[in-house]
Structure 1
């Protein structure tokens, strides 16, 4: 039975050898192709820089008015609009305007990228059960993985900066929009699809005219969760150079600046509440509209 005593050490040696092999392969890959891969994301970096400059360099009353207008169009609620304006005014008054706008621009770009990738995947999953069986376990792993782990491969591949942080945020935040898109389309009443078939609708017409409109409230719930996860991950991504409200929080933790940490944390909470209330209100409006139409 002496081999039982040696078993843990044998397993540890094999694990160490496997780790060294994988790390060596990954390092070699990053040295060989890292720069080429980084150049592939130049348009994404330019888009992020454009949105950041737009928000930070535009006159603050114009930015407040634009965000308030978006809040009104999404929610049609005076309370939410007034709360949005008061929150933004308080953020500006306490000197956190630029960091907040950088965080908002990062969330905006991450959400756009997540939707551009996640919606087609969710639609494809709703049409092919085999693809759903493949993707769902991957989403389970992505949603249970600690957020800090996402920083490791992107930093090793692309270094430190905005783009690696953006990619980490997108990977962390994309599962909800994929799941809810797939779920929303699958929950569409089969009677409506049969009626569309009876009228001679093509596959594309059924998807664009019936399934996607009816699935919009569910999809919006996924968008809401993606935005919230993006905001949470932006703070974590400040560790690798993502600018915004996360960096003052990280600085406050490192230097024990209690007031700085609390104020910037409250600014993050305020932005999260604005995004959450507007997206939820828009989803509820869509739901009511569909209930009236399909009565």
Structure 2
């Protein structure tokens, strides 16, 4: 008790910054950041333009294409990935219910956003994960950054993104990618590091170069773990879509946000159901595909 009683007195001995100093420091940082963004506004716009074009193209393709064509294409991908009729039939029922409740277009917008975000998260995450697996120094730098990214509240990602890119779909997409990329990096790193050293020694004995070992041995053996990373990236992308709707991303997330603001229980439930249905379809398909890769790897290298 004596220690607890003395704590305030001990804390008072530490010098504290005045409120005016803190305000001035924050203002200087904010003004400097805003000035930097204004100076390079044209460069930033040019850099994100391809993302905007690609996202708009995919969104128009999903929304304007006849729904039976999109449904058949989606079910084909689900069956090829899972090789399970139950999963395919479940996906068909879920998508038909989404269309029945008038949420098809919004679901396609969300599907386009999730697809683009997953593609970019995979394209960025796999090389970083490979570098982290190959070089311990890279891993020592990457892991603390990933720790911060995974513990930071999702809303915080929107602040710098909006300050740099403004309001719109591309800022929302960038926020989703930043939020969803950590599992892709971690599981790629883990999968490559878990490859049996005896297999790598055998590859060295055959005179394989570092690139040949990565391409022909490490990456194929790590593929099931990498697929688990892709699965988690997809799930986190869908989870972030609702938060990203605050900065202009449309689709189901925007409807959920509107339902929260206006206390529309039915609207929120239906759009939430649609998001859950899409998440389950992706999850079951990618998990089944990952298990098939695992069995294939065990047969080939067992």
**Same structural fold, with TM-score higher than 0.5 when normalized by the shorter chain:** yes
Q: CA deviation at 1:32?
A: 1.2
Q: CA deviation at 1:17?
A: 3.0
Within 5 A, what are the aligned runs for 1:137-286?
137-286=144-293
Q: CA deviation at 1:149?
A: 0.3
Indicate the residue corresponding to 1:58 in structure 2: 65
Give the 4+ runs in structure 1 shifted more than 3 A.
2-9, 11-15
In structure 2, distance between residues paired with 1:136 and 1:219: 17
Q: CA deviation at 1:19?
A: 1.5
Would the alpha carbon gap of residues 280 and 3 (structure 1) be closer, same or farther in structure 2, given more than 3 Å must change?
closer
In structure 1, distance between residues paired with 2:177 and 2:107: 19
1:124 to 115, 127, 131: 131
Structure 1: tracts of 5 or more residues without a match: none
| TM-score normalised by structure 2 residue count | 0.94
Per-residue displacement from partner, 1:128-156 (whole Å, max 9, x unpaired)? 10010001000000000000000001111
In structure 2, distance between residues paired with 1:271 and 1:10: 50
In structure 2, distance between residues paired with 1:252 and 1:104: 20
RMSD: 1.7
In structure 2, distance between residues paired with 1:271 and 1:113: 19
Would the alpha carbon gap of residues 5 and 201 (structure 1) be closer, same or farther in structure 2, given more than 3 Å must change?
closer
Q: CA deviation at 1:202?
A: 1.1
In structure 2, distance between residues paired with 1:5 and 1:292: 66
In structure 2, distance between residues paired with 1:137 and 1:67: 38
Would the alpha carbon gap of residues 8 and 261 (structure 1) be closer, same or farther in structure 2, given more than 3 Å must change?
farther
Q: CA deviation at 1:12?
A: 4.3
Q: CA deviation at 1:257?
A: 1.2
Q: CA deviation at 1:243?
A: 0.9
**3-state DSSP of counterpart to 2:40:** helix
Per-residue displacement from partner, 1:166-224 (whole Å, max 9, x unpaired)? 00000010000000000000000000000001111111110000000000010011111
Q: CA deviation at 1:16?
A: 2.8
**3-state DSSP of counterpart to 2:195:** coil
